[in-house]
Structure 1
């Protein structure tokens, strides 16, 4: 049995492990945005497929029997390509996306639907903590007044705000460390994507305890997929039913 996992997430790595243990031939595809990613077991390919047509061709040439979309919830382009390729080939597609974070008691969320809207809201604050990755930092580059503390896994290359401080670090992050980061940098707002999961959830807890508002960018609409899972084990259950 052959599976393609569109991964780059902890959930994708766990699915690869579980399927490999069951004797599957697993190929995990990573976007390649991080120079030293955590690699799953099995075969790994780096880079895109060339859109839906390229992915369709690759699936047929490789004899893939199931596709698992375990990408980041904000990787809408590859999710759309996967849905189109699945329809074109008839190969079952399972969408594995971790549950979104839910607002808790005491949270001061400012919910926005785009990064541009987040940038507009951020101008109201003096010391902004950005934990949105590297790809969309340019949205904040035109604010000459406020200080932006930017945390990324690797140094960003996009245009940055004139007043900024870059911290390169990879999660998971501890609650007390997150609180110390916010207090030490006089953070008065946190900007993040609603990616869900536990790896970086401590920043939300820290903001809650410190009374710091959170500009929360909501997830983009993803393709409607018949087979949906929220955990790696649910993926295995769905595969058994195919």
Structure 2
């Protein structure tokens, strides 16, 4: 039996390494949103599954005995579909989702349910830095800002529709680099998704240092009954308790 790891986050990379170190037969899957993703230490497929039937076909063809969903906290459609398919098939299934960020002293954060609510919180004439992903740009239409800067890993083919432009850079970023970037553009408002990633915290610390207002987009709701852990260590402990994993461990050496 093989474990399917739905990857695409720094936690997924750390989990993949832990699975490889323990000799757990694993197939990772990347959605293909990034052109040159960081390589994982386990066999990896790229691209979507082609809907529910395509997902089920991969599960059968690869002999998948359990699934860990370690995709981005905002990959709601993937998480819901994975939960529903695994529940229907009776496959052991776990969601690895790190806790969200917490504001501290000196932070100027406002939470918003979505982009529409966030737009209403940004005054006309602001300089806005979007750390919300390249696919989010259409959702910001109607934002009345003096300039908008959207950070992306890969430069999109589509034109930029605001004064400003794409900021092409690959994470992680340290606080000094973030301070320099925000100061160079004169950023007044930073918009982030509540990913909770430790390696994404630098932009929030830089915003605090510069007195920048931060708008945090809340995470989408999880499916009811979804078993979730918040750390790689907890996910690895769950794997060790899987029926097929326990059976392998009991075989004579």
Same fold, TM-score > 0.5, yes or no: yes
Q: Within 5 Å, which residues of 2 pair with 1:149-160? A: 149-158=149-158, 160=160
The answer for the alignment partner of 1:63 in structure 2 is: 63
Deviation at 1:110, TM superposition (A): 1.7
The answer for the alignment partner of 2:18 in structure 1 is: 18
What are the Cα deviations for residues 52-76 of structure 1, in whole angstroms up to 9, with x where unaligned?
3322232123211110000000001
Q: Within 5 Å, which residues of 2 pair with 1:117-136? A: 117-136=117-136
Deviation at 1:145, TM superposition (A): 4.8
Tell me how far apart the structure 2 counterparts of residues 221 and 124 of structure 1 sit (CA, whole Å): 30
The answer for the alignment partner of 2:112 in structure 1 is: 112
**TM-score w.r.t. length of structure 1:** 0.93
The answer for the alignment partner of 2:179 in structure 1 is: 179
Tell me how far apart the structure 2 counterparts of residues 51 and 121 of structure 1 sit (CA, whole Å): 36
Deviation at 1:159, TM superposition (A): 5.6
**TM-score w.r.t. length of structure 2:** 0.89
What are the Cα deviations for residues 115-140 of structure 1, in whole angstroms up to 9, with x where unaligned?
22223333545211111111111122
Q: Is the 8 A contact 1:8 1:71 kept in 2?
A: yes
Number of residue pairs aligned between Structure 1 and Structure 2: 242
Tell me how far apart the structure 2 counterparts of residues 240 and 42 of structure 1 sit (CA, whole Å): 17
Tell me how far apart the structure 2 counterparts of residues 215 and 130 of structure 1 sit (CA, whole Å): 10
The answer for the alignment partner of 1:234 in structure 2 is: 234
Q: Is the 8 A contact 2:131 2:150 kept in 1?
A: yes
The answer for the alignment partner of 1:202 in structure 2 is: 202
Q: Is the 8 A contact 1:7 1:30 kept in 2?
A: yes
Q: Is the 8 A contact 1:118 1:215 kept in 2?
A: yes
User: What secondary structure is seen at the aligned counterpart in 2 of 1:216?
Assistant: strand
Pairwise CA RMSD: 1.7
Tell me how far apart the structure 2 counterparts of residues 186 and 240 of structure 1 sit (CA, whole Å): 50
Question: Bigger CA drift: 22-31 or 222-231?
Answer: 222-231
The answer for the alignment partner of 1:167 in structure 2 is: 167
User: What secondary structure is seen at the aligned counterpart in 1 of 2:148?
Assistant: strand
Question: Bigger CA drift: 139-148 or 209-218?
Answer: 139-148
Q: Is the 8 A contact 1:55 1:81 kept in 2?
A: no
Larger radius of gyration: 2
Question: Bigger CA drift: 48-57 or 109-118?
Answer: 48-57
Q: Is the 8 A contact 2:193 2:218 kept in 1?
A: yes
The answer for the alignment partner of 1:7 in structure 2 is: 7
Which runs of 5 or more structure 2 residues have no equivalent in the other structure?
A: 243-253
The answer for the alignment partner of 2:189 in structure 1 is: 189
Runs of 4 or more, structure 1, over 4 Å off, are none
The answer for the alignment partner of 1:96 in structure 2 is: 96
Tell me how far apart the structure 2 counterparts of residues 106 and 144 of structure 1 sit (CA, whole Å): 27
The answer for the alignment partner of 2:37 in structure 1 is: 37
Change (3 A) 1:145 1:66: closer
Which runs of 5 or more structure 1 residues have no equivalent in the other structure?
A: none
